[in-house]
Amino acid sequence: MLEELKEVGLKGNMIDMAVGIIIGAAFGLVVKSLVSDIIMPPIGLLVGKVDFSDLFLILKNGTPPGPYPTVEAATKSGAVAIRYGIFINEVISFLLVGFSVFLLVKVINNLKRQEAEQAPPAETKKCPYCLSDIPAKAIRCPQCTAALE
């Protein structure tokens, strides 16, 4: 049983998955920091420091009865509230994270494309007569014996 556990645990797929999860978690923290620390402050400055987190709707008053200035005050009093402002903030954050990830993937794809363009020339070419693959430096096709340019 111990041997089977070692076999499963040391397979490449299991290790690759573990590394992917760890890198994914770290990447998530970086993207969250990008959104909250880099992107949100200028947006907040542009729209007049709008924060939706204190928007809520009271379904049932607590003790003492409302109005409540903040969500925390309503929660402390035992009021039942729909906190739609926090939901709006999370939706905005989700959209910004999605857009940030899109931009990051776009940059990575551009880098990969540039790398592919700088790839060495092909080792083979097609014979124009029989369309078989032949070495790139060949001057005669080994399949059809046609003279090549």
Q: What is the pLDDT of residues 75-114, one digit of tens each?
A: 888 888 888 888 887 887 788 778 877 888 899 889 888 8
Report the alpha-carbon distance of residue 62 to residue 85 in Å, rounded.
20
Preceding omega of 67 cis (within 30 degrees of 0): yes
User: Whose structure tokens read 């990051």?
Assistant: 104
Tokens of 20: 């992917």
Please give the pLDDT value at position 78: 87
Dihedral over Cα of 13, 14, 18, 19: its sign: negative
Structure tokens, 39: 């992107």
Out of 23-32, 36-45, 126-135, least confident range: 36-45
Q: How confident is the model at residue 43 (pLDDT cuts 50, 70, 90)?
A: confident
- Residues 1-10 pLDDT 10s: 777 766 666 6
Ramachandran area for residue 127 (φ above 0: left; ψ -120 to 50: alpha; else beta): beta
Contact 140, 146 (CB under 8 A): yes
